[in-house]
Every structure is written in structure tokens, then in C-alpha cells.
Structure 1
Amino acid sequence: MKVLSMIQPWATLLVQGETLYETRSWKTRYRGPLAIHASQKVDKLACKHEPIRSLLAKNGYTEQNLPTGVILATCELSNCYQVIDANHTSAILDCGKVVSGKDILLGDYSPGYFAWEIVGFRLLKTYIPVKGKLGLWEYPIDEELMI
């Protein structure tokens, strides 16, 4: 299965359904099953700012107990849109969708960046410890590990 490594707390916020998009500086043509990997790195400063701190707390997390170095969940990468315009409160994607509210605070919606639309999260029964990589990478995930 294709895997995407993400820095914490962004990985946990995504798999907990706190945002609809993962933003990247690069486009992908890939669509289909995707696993989300939490890298070893935690952005501790981000964890202390609102609304991130409250969103993590809602799910029982703090900067100290975020899982790292593990695959957390699987999902579907359904689309990839380019950000064509943005300000501090909203962004416009090339498909015409407008991103606002919590989503705009949980990503980098700079014009030219890409919003990966991700749906259908399935948490894993047990996290899979594995070293992350840059870009999309492959890792075999047994269907029995998914909730």
C-alpha cells in the first residue's frame, strides 16, 4: 500500500478527521488506498497553539503522547487540487471548492500548493512501527490490522 509520512500533530489531526485535506507543495497523480505514517518529528510549538491544542485534547493527545514512528491508519486519496487563491480565512481550489474554518488553520494553503482530499479513514488495531520516507512509499499492510 502507498504510505505518506507526516510530522505530528498533523498526522493525528488528519486521521482523527479534524481536516479534510493534507496540503503539500507537490502534486500527485496517485488515487487510491493510502496509509498515514506519523514520523519521529513532533512540531511541539504547533501543539501549544489553538485550535491545535484543543483538537488534540479532544482526542486525548498532548505533545508528549502523540504516537511517532508508526503507521496510524489507512484511507483513500480521492483527489488532488491546486490552491489558486488564498487569504487568512479561506482558500480557493482549482475545482472551485472553497476551504475555510478549521481546515484553513490546519494546512498550508499558499497559492500553488496542493490540497490532497482524503476520505474513509480506518484506524489500525495496533500501530505499525516503521521508519518513514519522503514522498509516497510502499509498505504491506494486512487487512486484519484495520478496524
Structure 2
Amino acid sequence: MKAITIRQPWATLVAIGEKRFETRSWRTNYRGEIAIHAGKKVDVKICRQEPYRSILQKHGYTAERLPLGAVVAVGRLEQCYNVKADLGTAAILGEEADLVDGAEYIFGDFSAGRYAWEMTDMRLLKEPLSVVGRLGLWNCDHPLRN
């Protein structure tokens, strides 16, 4: 299964379904099942800012209680959109000119020219699976159980 390492708190936000788009400087043609791996670093300052703090808290997380160095969820990489325009409080994606705003916009870097990877069907693992992450898309050879 393909996997992607994401720094915390963004990995958890994707895993719990509060963040639908993972933004990257590069595009991917891959579509299909994907494991979300939480990196070993946490941006503690971001975790204490709104809307991060209250959304994490709603799901029982704090900056000090986020899984690290582990696969936390499995879902689907549905689509990869080019960011057409960053309007400052919203962004325009893809040829259909889909609008991203609110917390979703705040949770990503939607600078024009970047890519928004649409993540769907996220399922948290019952227990995070300790795995060494990697850069880019990588193959997770460990059996993942929900």
C-alpha cells in the first residue's frame, strides 16, 4: 500500500476527516488506497492556535497527545488538483474551479501552483502502527488493521 508521511497535527487532521486536502509542491498520478503516516515532529505552536486547538480537542487530542512515527489511518487518495488561485481566505482548485475555504483553507498551503491531494474514506487505525516514514509516496509493507 502507498503511504505518505505528514507532520503533526496535519496527519491527525487528515486521519480524523477534518482535513480533506493535503497540499504539496508536487503532483502525483497515483490514485487509490493510501496510509497516513504521522511524522516524528509536532508543530506545537500551531496546535495551540485556532481552529487547530478546538478541532483537535473535539476529537480528544492535544499537542502533547498526538501519535508520532506511526501509521494512523488508511483512506483513499481520490484526486490531485492544481491550485489555480489563492484568494487570501479561499483557494480555487482545478479546472472545475472548486472553492476551498474555512478551516480547510487554513489547514493547507494553497499558494497558486501547488497541488491539493484530495483524501477520502479515512479510517483511523485502532492503534497507531509504529513505522519509519519516508519522503514522497512510499510503500508501506506492514499489514494494516482497522
Residue type of the alignment partner of 2:98: K
Question: Cα offset for 1:45?
Answer: 1.1
Q: Identify unmatched segments of 5+ residues in structure 1.
A: none
RMSD, matched Cα: 1.0
Mapped to 1, the partners of 2:94 and 2:39 lie a distance apart of 30
TM-score by length of 1: 0.95
- Detail structure 1 runs of 4+ shifted over 6 Å in the superposition: none
TM alignment of 1:44-123, pairs within 5 A: 44-95=44-95, 96-123=97-124
Mapped to 2, the partners of 1:142 and 1:134 lie a distance apart of 20
Question: Cα offset for 1:142?
Answer: 2.8
Where 2:65 maps in the other structure, the secondary structure is coil
State the identity %: 46
Where 2:11 maps in the other structure, the secondary structure is helix
2:34 is aligned with 1:34: yes
TM alignment of 1:129-144, pairs within 5 A: 129-142=130-143
Residue type of the alignment partner of 2:127: T
Count of matched residue pairs: 145
120-129 or 78-87, larger mean C-alpha shift: 120-129
TM-score by length of 2: 0.96
Residue type of the alignment partner of 2:103: K
Deviations 1:71-95 (A, max 9, x none): 0010000100010101221100123
Q: Identify unmatched segments of 5+ residues in structure 2.
A: none
